[in-house]
Chains A and B, each alone.
Chain A
Amino acid sequence: MSLLEVKSLNSFYSDSHILFDVDLRVEPHEVVALLGRNGAGKSTTMKSLMGLVRPRSGSIRFNGEEVSGRPAHVIARAGMQLVPEERRIFGSLDVEENLKLARLTASHSAPMDSIFATFPRLGERRRSRGADLSGGEQQMLAIARAMVRKPKLLLLDEPFEGLAPVIVRDLMSVCRELARAGQTILLVEQNLAATLALADRAYIINNGHIVHEGPTAEMKAKPELLQRHLGL
């Protein structure tokens, strides 16, 4: 049984139709990427899955349960966790409080020490307010905040955006480590090389329609496909 199965999902922002009959599937322990140009509907897909945007129609089956239209806190408790594009760290809370908040309702949670073992930098800054962290540290905290809940499905929305190459490399290795440990991930990322290296399979979304689906190995071999849909 798929961990996530999305069928004919339609989402709107007020009156504008953003997602058109999106179909998606993520198997347990799989890393799946969602590729597309800016404004293609990638973030809206992620937000619709998490319940932060209420889909107009369609079905989202997660872990055998229909979650479309349910509130975000119910979906989070079912085991889905979004690392949002804007990071959305709580700036007035310190690093530890950010993590503590995330753990409050988690049925299984990772011990703080294991989080700080993965992100030693966060351990050093455990008493710093979220607002005082650098962009890279905030992104680490955003990922750590999701990981502390031990989610069944991790949604990563542009985790490498706007970060220095050194930090991207560090975060990449964290993601690779997570994937190797069996974490199921749905990834949205502009950095194509990083995405193709991490993901087993990818969907290409264009103007709110899924236009292609296949293993990343196959896509790497067809540059014309990527060029046509992503303008590379």
Chain B
Amino acid sequence: MLNWANFISQLFNGLVLGALLALISSGLTIIYGTLGVLNLAHGAMFMLGGYAGWFAYAHTGSFVVAVICGSLFVMIVGVVMERVVIRHFYDRPDEDQLLVTFGLGIVFVEAVRFAFGSLSKTVLAPEALAGITSLGFMFYPTYRLALLGIVVAALLALYAVLYKTRLGLMVRAGIEDARMVEALGINIQTVFVIVFGIGAMAAGFAGIVNAPVVSIAPDVGEGILVQTFVVVVIGGVGSFGGAVLGGLVAGEIISLTSMFNPAYAYVMLFVAMTLVLVLRPRGLLGAAGRE
């Protein structure tokens, strides 16, 4: 039976999940758009953010330190990964790029399992954000509300970087035609490494800020990767606006379907993706074709 309080609460859950997916997906879509590499280790980056944050949290007890360490650690992993491995694959076939990023993802997951075991870890929300808040018409966990604010702030920061800075100008142009950007005197390799770092950091940041909601385990990234991939397809490859819109759509689909039958959440998600692929193959906000 449909009950209003339950429906609205699920609608909110969908919004929070959607914002989170939007953030992770913008990282994936910017990397894919600019570098042309679909990073199948992106889910593992999300997981690494959670673990690096948890490690810092376990040693300092500070959630803020955990968020900073989680994000920075994954950014560094992203930069090293691009410098050492990915750059040798730009001129290789897509299959090779998929295999190498998929392989790196497995390495990250198993390294974490080896170091910290398979049991899940918990990061508690800061004291001030614990408990529940009354919104007048319903009660809702305070941290989830805060999470929505944190993720929206991160998305706005990403938007500002993309649309208000010189780096953003280079990235947006690079998504369309990286070779032409280079012919205008810009070292696109440097842009690539920064993009990879920022994209990875978006996933890592999401991994640690989400940790108080869902406890972390080595395989948390797998489901996220699949959902993120669907978001990028729905929103349109290489489109930041598409990632945000696609994230919200996917979040609501998963959340509202789960209210009736959680087993169908993924089914509905793929139905939505299929519909988009049939009716608008380039995605809701995707540009027409990319070289």
Residues of A within 8 A of B (CB): 50-52, 71-73, 76-77, 81-82, 84, 88, 90-93, 97, 100-102, 104-106, 145, 149
Q: How far is the CB of B192 from chain A (nearest CB, A)?
A: 12
CB distance from B285 to the nearest CB of A (A): 11
Contact (Cβ within 8 A) A72 B182: yes
B180 touches A84 (CB 8 A): yes
- In the complex, the chain A residue whose C-beta lies closest to that of B183 is A72
B177 near A104: Cβ-Cβ < 8 Å: no
The chain B residue sitting closest to A83, CB to CB, is: B183
With contact pairs A90-B177, A91-B176, A92-B176 given, residues A73 and B182 touching in the complex (Cβ less than 8 Å): yes
Smallest CB gap from A71: residue in B: B182
Return the chain B residue nearest A148 by Cβ: B184
- Return chain A residues, CB-CB under 8 Å to B170: 101, 104
- Most chain A CB within 10 A, of B172, B180, B184, is at B184
Q: Is the CB of B183 within 8 A of A106?
A: no
Q: Once bound together, how far apart are the Cα atoms of A84 and B176, in whole Å?
A: 15
- The B interface is mostly helix, strand or loop, or mixed, namely helix
Residues of A within 8 Å of B182, CB to CB, are 71-73, 76
- 10 extra A-B contacts, CB within 8 A, seeds A73-B182, A102-B185: A71-B182, A72-B179, A73-B185, A84-B180, A90-B176, A101-B169, A101-B181, A104-B170, A104-B185, A145-B184
Cβ contacts under 8 Å, A77 to chain B: 185
Residues of chain B with a CB closer than 8 A to A105's CB: 184-186
Assuming the contacts A88-B180, A101-B181, A104-B166, asked whether A93 and B186 have C-beta atoms less than 8 A apart, the reply is: no
B169 CB → nearest A CB, Å = 5
Distance, CA A51 to CA B179, complexed state (A): 10
In the assembled complex, how far is the CB of residue A112 from the closest CB belonging to chain B, in whole angstroms? 15
- Chain A residue numbers with a CB within 8 Å of B169 are 93, 97, 100-101, 104
Distance of B10 from chain A, by nearest CB (Å): 36
List B contacts of A104 (CB < 8 A): 166, 169-170, 184-186
Q: Is the CB of B176 within 8 A of A102?
A: no
Query: Across the interface, do B173 and A93 meet the contact criterion of CB distance under 8 Å?
Result: yes
Shortest A47–chain B CB gap in Å is 9
Q: How far is the CA of A92 from the CA of B290 in the complex (A)?
A: 12
Query: Which chain A positions have C-beta within 8 A of B287?
Result: 91-92
Name A130's closest neighbour in chain B (CB-CB).
B176
| B60 beta carbon closer than 8 Å to chain A | no
Contacts of B183 in A (CB 8 A): 50-52, 72-73, 76, 81-82, 84
Complexed CA–CA distance, A88 and B181 (Å): 10
B187 touches A (CB below 8 Å): yes
Residue B188 at the A interface, CB < 8 A?
Answer: yes
A106 touching B179, Cβ below 8 Å:
no
The smallest beta-carbon distance between B177 and chain A, in angstroms, is 6
Across-interface contacts of A50 in B (CB, < 8 A): 183
**Chain B residues within an 8 Å CB radius of A100:** 169
Pair A88/B185 contact, Cβ less than 8 Å: no
Chain B positions within 8 Å of A52 at CB level: 179, 183
On whether the beta carbons of A102 and B184 are closer than 8 Å, the reply is yes
B245 to chain A, nearest CB (A): 16
**Please, which residue of chain A has its CB at the minimum distance from the CB of B181?**
A101
Contact between chains at A92 and B185 (CB < 8 Å): no
Pair A106/B185 contact, Cβ less than 8 Å: yes
Given contacts A91-B287, A97-B169, A101-B169, are A149 and B176 in contact (CB under 8 A)? no
